[in-house]
Amino acid sequence: MLVGGIGPQALLTMISHLVFIVITWYALQGFQIEKLMKANHVIQAKIMLILLTIAIASTVSNFFLDYLFWSQRIPSLFQ
C-alpha cells in the first residue's frame, strides 16, 4: 500500500490540495474575471477568484486522491 497510515495520508492530502490550488490559481490567471464584475469592485473580484480557486482545486484534488486510494484497494478484489 502506498500510503501506510493516517499521518502519511493526511500529509499527502494536504500536499495534494496545495499543489492543485497552485495549479488552479495559475490556470485561472488566464481569464480576465475582473471584466465580468462591476466597475470598481476589484476586491470582490479577487475574493471570488480565491474562492473559485479553492472550490475547483479541492474538487480536483479529492478526485485525484479518491482515484489513488481506490486503485490501492484493487488487489484486495483478487485475494
CA 7 from chain center: how many Å? 19
> Helical H runs in the chain?
6-28, 42-73
Residue 51 lies in a domain: yes
pTM over 0.85? The answer is no
> Which pLDDT score, from 0 to 100, does residue 57 have?
98
> Which pLDDT score, from 0 to 100, does residue 66 have?
95
Residue 19 lies in a domain: yes
Residue 76 lies in a domain: no
Residue 69 lies in a domain: no
Contact by Cβ (8 Å): 26, 79: no
Residue 2 lies in a domain: no
> Which pLDDT score, from 0 to 100, does residue 62 have?
97
> Which pLDDT score, from 0 to 100, does residue 40 have?
83
Residue 26's domain comprises: 14-62
Residue 8 lies in a domain: no
Number of domains in the chain: 1
Residues of the chain with pLDDT under 50: 1
Single-letter code of the amino acid located at 44: Q
Residue 24 lies in a domain: yes
Residue 5 lies in a domain: no
